[in-house]
Amino acid sequence: MTDIQSVPFVDLHLQHAQIAAEVASGFDRVLAEGSYILGPEVETFEKAFAEYSGVEHVVGVGNGTDAIELALVGGGIRPGDEVIIPANTFVATAEAVLRAGGVLRLVDCDHDFLIDVEAVAAAVSSSTRAVIGVHLYGQAAPMELLRQAIGSDVLLVEDAAQSQGARRNGVRAGGLADVAGTSFYPGKNLGAYGDGGAVLTSSAEVADHIRALRNHGGVRRYEHLAVGTNSRLDGLQGVVLSAKLARLDMWNQQRRDAAGYYDQLLADVDGVTVPRTVEGNEHVFHLYVIRTDRRDELVTALGAAGIGAGIHYPAPVHRVPAFDFLGLPAGSFPRSEQLATQILSLPIFPGITRGQQEQVVETLVSAIGG
């Protein structure tokens, strides 16, 4: 191993250095045009991201949570409609359902952290109006199997916040269902320089509805055809996202290469299970998540060595205090609950060096051996 140094969980400076000149030029355009909210830079990005994702329409919005909410409302979800989501997800997925007026229905995840299709099939009822498949950690949920399980009359939604560029059976995330919401939070594979998000769909009707909803219910000033919200992507973020989109495939490949090297380094480490790429998926490793029964002590050891680590997520939705009202006790979703005690996210980002990865694994192995 090379000289001991801290290893960040994510290093955004490396990406910024590659696009700094392009972003500066784009910012000058925005400032000259005065198009700070929506405008030509956002439109350029929306068209490019739609083409990249294989969908007809991308609608830029304020953040990923808004994107899921607007995907649901734009897709026809109304107050009182039941929406099924996995228990193993970030709380934003659940928040978006409630903000859309939906009734939250949780199901367990499978061994690959993704929504359990059999659990969905068992949970679907005459009250179910939508199912959200969460593309967790960088790989797609089995949307085609979910469609088979729920039929054609239930809205199928992708939470694609962690999967920009991922594919399932050759189709990009965002184009695997009726409608998708994604996030451009700075640490995402395609991240802005602040909050941002988008809704993706190939339905012109849904896209037009969401364009109005994001802009106070209308697409023209002072024409409010519906009660909407204020959730619009900024022109400056459009510049950043366009510059990053042009490099996304390269950066995702760097993530895959880094994940492959972790796989090699951890192959013979007792007590550690490396992530599996599900058949048919092209993983983009937003996160590299291992499983270990000694998670908490490893987090402590890594932190003491100056190495960033994360837990995504410490508790499934029904065990988060804000969702106590669901009345779901411990044991309701045993797989999600067990994983929450075992999962550990190791540093991964475009540009991470092999020396940094070796330092991470040597620290981890030393802690396990100790």
Instruction: Note the pLDDT tens digit of each residue in 55-109.
Output: 999 999 999 999 999 999 999 999 999 999 999 999 999 999 999 999 999 999 9
Query: Which pLDDT band, with edges at 50, 70 and 90, does 5 fall under?
Result: confident
Task: Tell me the DSSP string of 268-327.
Answer: T-TT-B---PPTTEE---SSEEEE-TTHHHHHHHHHHTTB--B-S-SS-GGGSGGGGGG-
Q: Which of 204, 131, 141 is nearest to 171 (CA)?
A: 141
Query: How many angstroms separate the CA atoms of 107 and 118, rounded?
Result: 9
Quick one: pLDDT at residue 370? 57
Quick one: pLDDT at residue 4? 61
Quick one: pLDDT at residue 223? 79
More confident position, 3 or 301 = 301
Say if residue 348's pLDDT is above 90: yes
Say if residue 3's pLDDT is above 70: no
Q: Are 308 and 11 in contact (CB under 8 A)?
A: no
Give the pLDDT confidence of 8-51 residue by residue, as tens digits: 999 999 999 999 999 999 999 999 999 999 999 999 999 999 99
Average pLDDT of 253-270? 97
β-bridge pairing 103-107 and 82-86: parallel
Q: Which residue has tokens 């929506």? A: 38
Query: How many angstroms separate the CA atoms of 267 and 150, rounded?
Result: 38
Q: What is the mean pLDDT of the chain?
A: 95
* Exposed/middle/buried for residue 102 (C-beta within 10 Å: 0-12, 13-18, 19+): buried
Query: Which pLDDT band, with edges at 50, 70 and 90, does 1 fall under?
Result: very low
Query: How many angstroms separate the CA atoms of 295 and 326, rounded?
Result: 28
DSSP bridge pairs for 282: 167
Query: How many angstroms separate the CA atoms of 156 and 364, rounded?
Result: 40
β-bridge pairing 128-134 and 197-201: unpaired
Give the pLDDT confidence of 281-333 residue by residue, as tens digits: 999 999 999 999 999 999 999 999 999 999 999 999 999 999 999 999 999 99
β-bridge pairing 179-183 and 197-201: antiparallel
Q: Which of 363, 344, 353 is nearest to 302 (CA)?
A: 363
Q: Which residues have CB under 8 Å from 156's CB, separation 6+?
A: 130, 131, 133, 143, 146, 147, 150, 177, 178
Quick one: pLDDT at residue 161? 98
Question: Alpha-carbon Rg of the chain, whole angstroms?
Answer: 21
Query: Which pLDDT band, with edges at 50, 70 and 90, does 222 fall under?
Result: confident
Query: How many angstroms separate the CA atoms of 108 and 74, rounded?
Result: 26
Quick one: pLDDT at residue 224? 81
- Strands (E) in the chain, as ranges, are 57-61, 82-86, 103-107, 128-134, 155-159, 167-168, 171-172, 179-183, 197-201, 281-282, 288-291, 343-346
Task: Please report, in angstroms and rounded to a whole number, the separation of the first and last CA atoms in the chain.
Answer: 19
Say if residue 120's pLDDT is above 90: yes
Give the pLDDT confidence of 128-187 residue by residue, as tens digits: 999 999 999 999 999 999 999 999 999 999 999 999 999 999 999 999 999 999 999 999
Q: Are 191 and 205 in contact (CB under 8 A)?
A: no
CA 206 to chain centre: 21
Q: Are 85 and 95 in contact (CB under 8 A)?
A: no
Query: How many angstroms separate the CA atoms of 39 and 236, rounded?
Result: 10
Q: Which residue has tokens 């191993």? A: 1
Task: Tell me the DSSP string of 10-30.
Answer: --THHHHHHHHHHHHHHHHHH
Q: Which of 138, 68, 89 is nearest to 286 (CA)?
A: 138
Q: Are 99 and 125 in contact (CB under 8 A)?
A: no
- Delineate the domains of the chain, giving CATH numbers in brackets: 13-245 (3.40.640.10), 248-369 (3.90.1150.10)
Whole-prediction pTM: 0.94
